[in-house]
Amino acid sequence: MKNFVYEIPTKIIFGKGQIAKIGGEASRFGRRVLLVYGMGSIKKNGVYDQVMASLGDSGLDVVEFSGVRSNPVLSHARKGIESARREKIEVVLAVGGGSVIDEAKTIAAGVFADHDPWDFFTYKKVIEAALPILTVVTMSASASEMNGSAVMTNDETAQKFSTRSIHLYPKTSILDPTVLYTVGADYTAYSAVDAITHMLEGYFNGAELFNPLQDGLVENLTRVLMDNTAVNLKNPMEYDARANSMWATTLAFNGLTTAGIGRAPLPVHMIEHSLSAIYDIAHGAGLSIVLPGWMKFALPEKYPKIAHFGRRIFSIEEEDDMEAARRGIEALKAWFVSIGSPVSLAEGNIPEEDIGKIAANAATLADVWGLTDYKSPVIESILEQCR
């Protein structure tokens, strides 16, 4: 077990009917609230009305900022920063999934910056302050409601980068599983893929490759997500399945599963960021394309751990580690297919002739993240495995 620091300053309020508490939570941090949300789905499923009623009951002044895309873009976040400054906002409330929360975080930090917010994502500047951030989660995938990360796409350069800061942890996040009842089958699947990939990046790439405690957490959460995703797709309004998935997704990327494993790079996310930046593909869909390809590429080095994964998750009985690893990859790929998530570039409508362009784009993020082993030719080799 490697040394680590684990600090999560986020208050979680979980369960049915808890959205009514958001007004009281927000009022602890200020009176003027910037309400950040997406394209209007919260007005169709009743969440908007619940949030506005609670904020109104607490006597808060609300400025709405809508239009966040599923892959949030920098140009829109800049407008949010301008609005927050102009309206003298004191609290930023994100009502949505990871994309909405990530843009809200960018706005909250950008208000205090005397430079372009993109400098946070290229690590030219450090986030030193942010407005208080609260969330009402309507899509469980990225765990942004309980971590200090944010992802943003620069729509001028087609680069999708991330940033991280203790100041970006939400103060309070409300998770009501009933909100997920209206999430479609596609994004129900993509959310599970995202959460599982978050965990497997650390599982396969941690400095400490085998760690019984952390491995067990990942394996159990993976099984919970797989089992409950099957239920969610069959019966979208099964409360316990939605609740289990929602909480497992949050735990998947809040630092819990990676504590003690040392530095854990995220090559699959690094490559997928280029897919969603260039082609605007859903993040989870892009991950289900890249993850099996990366696992095939990593076989010569990682086959003992991939074999262990296959045996633990898919009950593969093959004694030979290399063969068990291959079967584990195919079993994971088959599971992606079973839930309707794409497993090839073609299925994601990504031209195979663009592999060189994708690799060049991804290599810029690899440099920012310090993934020195992932130059363009290596990334191209991985993408070749994704055909």
pLDDT tops 90 at residue 234? yes
pLDDT value of position 127:
98
Give the separation between CA 121 and CA 67, rounded to whole angstroms. Answer: 21
pLDDT (average), residues 181-203 = 97
Question: Is the distance from CB of 197 to CB of 249 less than 8 angstroms?
Answer: no
Calpha distance 331→323 (Å, rounded): 12
Which of 49, 55, 79, 47 has the alpha carbon at shortest distance from 65? 79
Residue 358, sorted as left (phi over 0), alpha (psi -120 to 50) or beta, turns out to be alpha
- The alpha carbon torsion through 156, 160, 165, 171 (nearest 10 deg) reads 90
58-106 pLDDT, tens digit per residue, is: 999 999 999 999 999 999 999 999 999 999 999 999 999 999 999 999 9
List where CATH 3.40.50.1970 sits in the chain. 11-178
Measured between alpha carbons, how far is 260 from 80 in angstroms, rounded to an integer? 37
Cα dihedral sign for 166, 245, 67, 23? negative
- Check if the beta carbon of residue 194 is closer than 8 Å to that of residue 255: no
Superfamily for domain range 185-384: Dehydroquinate synthase-like - alpha domain (1.20.1090.10)
Averaged pLDDT of the chain: 97
Task: Tell me what pLDDT residue 147 has.
Answer: 98
pLDDT for 171-188, tens place per residue?
999 999 999 999 999 999
Global model pTM greater than 0.75: yes
Task: Please name the helix (run of DSSP H) or strand (run of DSSP E) that holds residue 95, with its range, or none.
Answer: strand 91-96
Q: What pLDDT score does 367 carry?
A: 96
Residue with tokens 């789905």: 41
Question: For residues 140 and 191, is the Cβ–Cβ distance under 8 A?
Answer: yes
pLDDT band at 229 (very low <50, low <70, confident <90, very high): very high
Tens digits of residue pLDDT in 258-288: 999 999 999 999 999 999 999 999 999 999 9
pLDDT at 42: 96
Give the CA count within 13 Å in the CB-facing half-sphere of 101. 28
* Per-residue model confidence (pLDDT) at position 350: 97
Cα separation of 279 and 253, whole Å? 25
The architecture of the domain spanning 11-178 is 3-Layer(aba) Sandwich (3.40)
CB count in 10 Å sphere of residue 128: 10
Long-range interactions of 113-122: CB distance < 8 A, separation 24+: 116/78, 117/74, 117/77, 117/78, 117/81, 117/152, 118/74, 118/152, 118/154, 118/161, 120/163, 120/165, 121/152, 121/154, 121/161, 121/162, 121/163, 122/161, 122/368
High-pLDDT (> 90) share of the chain, %: 98
For residue 128, the SS3 value is: coil
Query: Strands of 133-137's sheet, edge to edge?
Result: 11-14, 172-175, 133-137, 91-96, 32-36, 61-65
Per-residue pLDDT averaged across 1-15, rounded? 95
CA 337 to mean position of chain CA atoms = 20
User: Could you write out the DSSP letters of every residue in 289-319?
Assistant: HHHHHHHHHHHHHHHHHHHHHHHHHH----S
Angle at 161 between CA 160 and CA 163, to 5 degrees: 150
HSE value, Cβ hemisphere, 13 Å, CA-based, for 77: 30
Short-list 158, 122, 118, 153, CA closest to 357: 158
Q: What pLDDT, on the 0 to 100 scale, is given for residue 209?
A: 82
Question: For 53-66, how does the pLDDT look when each residue is reduced to its tens digit (9 = 90+)?
Answer: 999 999 999 999 99
Residues belonging to the chain? 387
Q: How far apart are CA 187 and CA 78, in angstroms?
A: 27
pLDDT at 208 > cutoff 90 = no
Q: Are 200 and 218 in contact (CB under 8 A)?
A: yes
Bridge partners, 63 (sequence order): 34
Q: What is the pLDDT of residues 107-156, one digit of tens each?
A: 999 999 999 999 999 999 999 999 999 999 999 999 999 999 999 999 99
Q: CA separation (Å) from 345 to 192, 293, 357?
A: 19, 10, 14
Mean pLDDT of 26-32: 98
Q: Which helix (H) or strand (E) element contains residue 159?
A: strand 159-164
pLDDT digit string (tens) for 144-157? Answer: 999 999 999 999 99
Q: Where are the CATH 1.20.1090.10 domain residues in the chain?
A: 185-384
